[in-house]
Structure 1
Amino acid sequence: MRAVACRDGQLEVVDLPTPTPGRGQVLIRVTRAGICGSDLHARTHCDESAAVADEVGYDAFMRSSESVVMGHEFTGDVVSYGPDCRRRWAPGTPVVSVPMIKHGDDAHLTGLSARAPGAYADLLLVSEDLTMPVPDGLSADLAALTEPMAVAHHAVRRGEVGKRDVAVVIGCGPIGLAVILMLKAAGVRSVVAADLSAGRRDLARRCGADVVVDPTTDSPWEATTQKRRYVTQASGLFDTAFAAMHELQRIPGVPWAKVMRVAERVGATPQGPVVFECVGVPGIIEDIVSHAPFRSRVVVVGVCMQPDTFRPAMTINKEIELRFVFAYDPGEFHDTLHMIADGKVDPGPLITATIGLGGVVAAFDALSSAEHHAKVLIDPTSDVVDL
């Protein structure tokens, strides 16, 4: 079979043997695969990622010295089964799968390990237990976006964004756009998006962002005040508290603690937006905590591959809450697939090009500084090589 392998940062179309499904595994024929920002990072920074993965207990993350077939966003058709499978779907059934596969007792990350070749290929092995049929009528293009949309679904859930909250998305690459889509699907009424690229700002609008700003000329934090008034100084907390207590203490027998809880419930105490950091470069977290309103919650979705710093004193004084998110669970993956199939979220605007395996090298080069592209899909049967 044909595949695209990465070694020492170089991508090359190669011929590989047809995979043989092992115990509990399913062989599928890839119909679409997505190029992820994680793949772009892994091409050039896999050794750093492998060192971190090793520290947290996974020692098989891809290394630059290994030849690895990447691709963890995909859909395909069932071809055959290995031993001890339940054979739940007939050959030809379109499926998606959580990109993890077991070899014996060891689980590996599909497309990010030499032990689990990915979807930049004609054929792919998946775990039957983590595989799900694509609902009738859902196109391969949209089914292939289940994985990145599940990442965004998890981030939004971890952000605990209320429908009346203001959400601010910093960075409108593929994951930022996916977060915007999932915020709107969750019913969040006010979404502010910021990106340096005019093309990506246009995509943010298509994905449903209510306010879109160029951070070189406009502040996303000022834009939040168009939707809701925030107290941005610590002194504002005390002013609000004293005002609330002054009024409510007129009621006989009401303790101060109860006064403050009532003030919180009615929104009389300061509360900032929920901010999604979707850039992943050094300095972004510091910029956000320095300029975000008092008591903002920051959800870090972007993966920064270099060491970074921010000022804890600033974060403490403004009571900024930081949450870091990673991937999703199988339930979120399943729910995302059906949200797409049911039309609750439409990731179609993310797709900006479809290429064949021969176009992967050019696509990686273009996506490293993309102005107009978001999600590039691979169709292994296509001869298209140019974006």
Structure 2
Amino acid sequence: MKAVVCQNAELTVRDIPDQTPAQGQVLLKVLRCGICGSDLHVRHHCDLFGRLIGRAGYKNFPDASEPMVFGHEFCGEVLDHGPGTPKNIKAGTRVCALPFIRQGKDIDCIGLSARSHGAYAERIVVENSMMVPVPNGLSNDMAALTEPMAVGLHAVNRGEVKKGDVAIVIGCGPVGLAVICMLKAKGVRTVIASDFSPGRRALAKQCGADVVVNPADESPFSTWEQYGFLGGIPELLELAVGTREKLGKLPVPWWHTWRLAEGLGLKPKRPIIFECVGVPGVLNNLIDSAPLFSRIVVVGVCMQTDQIEPAMGNNKEVDLRFVMGYSPLEYRDALHMIAEGQVRCEHLVTGVVGLGGVDNAFEALRDPERHAKILVDPSSRATTPAPPTR
């Protein structure tokens, strides 16, 4: 079968052996596969990525010199089941699948492994237990967005965002747009999106952002007073001293009232900031410029060593949370949220190519004004990204 192989940073279409599903596994015909930002990174920084993920315990990542087939954002059609594999999901069913598969005693990340190839291919083997049928006649294009939408859902869940919170999304590439989609699906009333690119700001608005900001013109935190945030230490001192003075005038011990107020959740307001850029310097800039008590959820993956000033985080009591991936439940929920119309993410797909166009698609994705998410359709002959059919 044909697949796009990455080796020494070169992408070429090759004939590779068909995989045979083992017990507990299923063979799929690939219908669509999204090109992920991590694929772009790994193409040119494979060995660095392998060392980093290896330090976290994943030992099955290939060297740059080894052939690897990317593709972990996919949907497909069930073709065959491995021996002894339950056939509760019958042949011909369209499915999405979490990109994890058992290989002996190990579990591989599909598309980030030399032995478990991804979906830049005509067919792929997946774990039966990881499959989720595509519901409600959802299109292949939208079903292929399940994985990136699950990333966005996981980030929002880790941020513990409530409907009345102010969420600020820094960076409106595919990850930031997925976060915006999920914030609005969760009913968050105020979502501020920030990006230098006019095209991405337009997409952020289409995905539901209430306010879009060009950081070259204004800070996404410039309206902190409007939302009742504390901009710095003077405001915090005034709040502390002023509150104590007011409570001291009540006919009850001030500390009882203070403790009751805290128990009722009456604490200083803070924004929840999603860092979706992953470039050195961004995180430190956020810590430096964000209001007090901000919760920063780091979704963007910075591949280089970065530097922050922890003392500034102390001064502002900033809450840092790093996120990666999603759970099987979040993956299933993301698919159903798309299928039920809770998540409106159709604007993310800006192009479709065949296997022969993957190299061109990687190049096209370098221009944020042209593309956000390009999908691979192995049955297509398109060598340049063609607009998707709506």
TM-score between both structures, scaled by the size of structure 2? 0.96
Q: Which residue of 2 aligns with 1:324?
A: 322
SS in 2 for 1:132: strand
Task: Note the 1:297-308 alignment, pairs <5 A.
Answer: 297-308=295-306
Q: Could you tell me how far apart the structure 2 residues matched to 1:263 and 1:28 are? A: 54
- Helix, strand or coil for the counterpart of 2:306? coil
Q: Deviations over 1:13-57 (max 9, x none)?
A: 111122111121100000000000011111111211111111121
**Counterpart amino acid of 2:325?**
A
Alpha-carbon deviation of 1:83? 1.6
1:341: how far off?
A: 1.0
Match of 1:192 in 2: 192
> Percent identity at matched positions?
50
SS, match of residue 358 in structure 1? helix
Contact 1:236 1:270 in 2 (8 A): no
Map of 1:54-65 to 2, 5 A cutoff?
54-65=54-65
Does residue 244 (structure 1) correspond to residue 238 (structure 2)? The answer is no
Answer whether contact 2:247 2:254 (CA < 8 A) is retained: no
The answer to whether the aligner puts 1:85 opposite 2:85 as a matched pair is yes
Gaps of 5+ in 2: 386-390
- Find the counterpart in structure 2 of residue 273 from structure 1: 271
**3-state SS, counterpart of residue 41 of structure 1:** helix
**Superposition deviation, residue 223 in structure 1:** 3.9
Letter in 1 for 2:96: V
Matched, 1:354 2:352: yes
SS at match of 2:364: helix
2:22 maps to what in 1?
22
Taking structure 1 as reference, are residues 380 and 40 closer, same or farther at Cα in structure 2, changes over 3 Å only? same
CA change 1:263–1:100 in 2 (3 A) is closer
State the one-letter code of the partner of 2:242: A
Amino acid at match of 1:285: L
Aligned length: 385
Q: Is the 8 A contact 2:224 2:291 kept in 1?
A: no
User: Structure 1: which amino acid aligns with 2:200?
Assistant: R
Normalised by the length of structure 1, the TM-score is: 0.96
Q: 2:75, 2:5 → 1: CA distance?
A: 19
- Alpha-carbon separation, structure 2, partners of 1:224 and 1:21: 55
Q: Distance in 2 between matches of 1:167 and 1:19?
A: 44
> Per-residue CA shift, 1:84-111, capped at 9, x if unaligned?
2111122110001110000122100000
Residue 175 of structure 1 aligns with an amino acid whose one-letter code is: V
Which residue is equivalent to 1:294? Answer: 292
Kept in 2, the 8 Å contact 1:26–1:126? The answer is yes
Deviations 1:89-146 (A, max 9, x none): 2211000111000012210000011121000000000000111111131111111100
How far off its partner does 1:346 sit?
1.6
Cα distance, 1:299 vs structure 2 = 0.3
TM-superposition CA deviations, 1:42-89 (whole Å, max 9, x none): 111121111111112111123211100000000000000112211112
List aligned pairs for 1:212-291, cutoff 5 A. 212-226=212-226, 228-256=227-255, 258-259=257-258, 262=261, 265=264, 267=266, 269-291=267-289
Aligned to 1:146: 146
